[in-house]
Amino acid sequence: EIVLTQSPGTLSLSPGERATLSCRASQIVSSSYLAWYQQNPGQAPRLLIYGASSRATGIPDRFSGSGSGTDFTLTISRLEPEDFAVYYCQQYGSSPPWTFGQGTKVEIK
């Protein structure tokens, strides 16, 4: 099973600042099957990024994804108030089991 480790656990930033979230895999992950989700309290996850770097429909361009192999990054260029949430990476390659990272909480400083 591929273990995804996200860092940091919590990121304390102010609106307008840049957020950089990391997701490191225990084995090589196909970039085609690495996604990022945003989750607000009491709500279902929302797909932000798929294929490591492609934005999902309706996702603002301040969200960007990058990386390959075992290291992936989600960047939020300028934080808006609605961006303070928990973010998860997920690998869903051709051979389950699939896994999620443990999450990074982006909170208002």
Binding residues (CB under 8 A) for other proteins: these are: 1, 32-33, 35, 37, 39, 44-47, 49-51, 56-57, 86, 88, 90, 92, 94, 96-103
Q: How far is the CB of 20 from other proteins (least distance, A)?
A: 20
Of residues 10 and 15, the one with the C-beta less far from other proteins? 10
Minimal distance, residue 9 CB to other proteins, in Å: 11
In the complex, what is the shortest distance from the CB of residue 14 to other proteins, in angstroms, rounded to a whole number? Answer: 25
Cα–Cα distance for residue pair 40/103, rounded to 1 Å: 12
Which phi and psi (to 5°) does residue 82 adopt? -75, -5
C-alpha span between 6 and 104 (Å, rounded): 6
Rounded distance between C-alpha atoms, residue 5 and residue 103, angstroms? 8
Residue placing its CB nearer to other proteins in the complex, 15 or 26: 26
Q: Which CB, 77 or 102, lies closer to other proteins?
A: 102
The sign of the torsion formed by the CA atoms of 6, 35, 96, 27 equals: negative
